[in-house]
Amino acid sequence: MKYLKNTIILVGIFAIIGVVNGFAQTFYYANISIPALHGTWTSAQKEKRTSTQQSFTNTGARDSLNNTYTIGGRTQAMYDPVRYSSWKYASSGGGTANWGNQNTGINDYKLHLKAENYNALSISFTGSWKV
């Protein structure tokens, strides 16, 4: 009886952990530097635990002269032969872009960001990435 009770408790704990880990995660970025001359910034690898759509939000993207920028983003699947999604663009000030059915599987991903248009100065980006 004691073993049955402990087994039931462990199953309950693992069920709760499974439910908590099953939700999409959002990563927030503040003042990351996107290189000048149309350079690309790449995030650290993040684990995606659900089969939901990914998106990113451009809360603000400015250079040192206070010019605002529309930012393009794409995802890179680490263990998938297709690997890259297409570039999607989000305007500064809260614009959001998602990749639809591209890279929705459970996998590890990286986010790539760049300015939509040519940028002579580096850009300070603040926003988020929903994995």
33-77 residue pLDDT tens: 999 998 999 999 999 999 999 999 999 999 999 999 999 999 999
Q: What's the confidence (pLDDT) of residue 81? A: 73
Residue with tokens 């996998």: 107
Domain spans, the chain = 25-130
Would you place residue 20 in the very low, low, confident or very high pLDDT band (cuts 50, 70, 90)? very low
Q: Is 53 helix (H, G, I), strand (E, B) or coil?
A: coil
Residue with tokens 């010019």: 67
> Comparing 2 with 79, which gets the higher pLDDT?
79
Instruction: Show the DSSP H helices in the chain as ranges.
Output: 2-20
∠ CA 24-123-43, rounded to 5°: 35
Q: Buried b vs exposed e over 45-66: b needs ≥16 C-beta within 10 Å?
A: ebebeeeeebbbbbbbbbbeee
- State the fold for domain 25-130: Jelly Rolls (2.60.120)
| Tokens of residue 90, six digits | 């989000």
Q: Quick check: 24 pLDDT over 90?
A: no
Q: Quick check: 13 pLDDT over 70?
A: no
Would you place residue 1 in the very low, low, confident or very high pLDDT band (cuts 50, 70, 90)? low
Q: What's the confidence (pLDDT) of residue 53? A: 93
Task: Return the number of other C-beta atoms located less than 10 Å from residue 127's C-beta.
Answer: 24
